[in-house]
Amino acid sequence: MRLKTTFTPADFEALAQTDLSETTCVVFDILRATSSMVTALANGAERIRPVATIEEALAAKAEYPEALLCGERHGQRITAEQAKGTDFDLGNSPREYTAEIVTGKTLITTTTNGTRALRTSLGAREVLVSSFLNLQATIDHLCEASPKRLVLVCGGTFEEAAFEDALAAGAIADAVWNLFTDDSIEDSAQIARALWLAHGASLNASIQHALNARRLLAVPELAADVDFCLQRDTIGQVIRLDPQGWVA
């Protein structure tokens, strides 16, 4: 049994080299990639293909021409100048993924860190896509499945750790703590849990100082994404990345 957290994109490479066949990964990019994916599926999207790069997104679009192209660079929707003349249909605001727009649709998405974190976890026994929006559903599933090895994968901000992702990882670590023996819990999980125990009760106030929250709050059309992504348990679905690379 083993419980650990990874905090930064620097950990993606190591994770990709690890045998994850007996490991469950839970991936978070609270602001905003995993919050947007969870919202899109709850609002009726059929499936989502997360890819690491704009080039991969364009290649996937050629394969699935009916799909909507989604994602961000520097927080904003990807434009024709960045994508060989193709304007993306949607950015990475969860508020864009309404039932009117996504019901029955296939989505292809590339974001700065969140989609890379998901691709990195692809070889795992099970990959869960989590957020505060579906946190309790994720926790209930983990308590029932009782995985032997659990890695809480934080997307981070730029190349750094992100406060909001570490908090969400801490919430999960706290909820599954008793499934693991003391000697199987790594310091990384203890750090995340300690952060959650210190700040979980004042989630909105504590996240206002996080870099990604400040970045979004400074852009009038994106500011409301912060409060949206901090809502707790508005969605009761467990969301998974399947071995073929689709989130559904």
Binding site for ligand MLT (CB under 6 A): 29, 32-33, 72, 75, 92, 111-114, 155
Give the angle subtended at the CA of 119 by the CAs of 130 and 132, to the nearest 5°: 10
User: H/E element holding 99?
Assistant: helix 99-102
Which residue's CB is nearer to ligand MLT, number 190 or number 231? 231
Instruction: Give me the torsion for CA of 206, 210, 215, 217, rounded to 10°.
Output: 0
| Tokens representing residue 28 in the block | 């978070």
- Please name which of 63, 42, 60 lies closest in space to residue 50, comparing C-alpha atoms: 60
Which residue's CB is nearer to ligand MLT, number 114 or number 170? 114
| Tokens representing residue 218 in the block | 């400074």
Which residue's CB is nearer to ligand MLT, number 11 or number 72? 72
Could you give the CA distance from residue 242 to residue 231 in angstroms, rounded to a whole number? 26
Cβ at position 178, least distance to ligand MLT in Å? 31
| Tokens representing residue 30 in the block | 């609270």
Cβ at position 135, least distance to ligand MLT in Å? 17
Which residue's CB is nearer to ligand MLT, number 72 or number 126? 72
User: Would you give the distance in Å from CA 93 to the centre of its chain?
Assistant: 13
Cβ at position 146, least distance to ligand MLT in Å? 29
Identify the sign of the CA torsion 30, 34, 40, 43: negative
Which residue's CB is nearer to ligand MLT, number 114 or number 147? 114
Cβ at position 184, least distance to ligand MLT in Å? 30
Cβ at position 115, least distance to ligand MLT in Å? 6
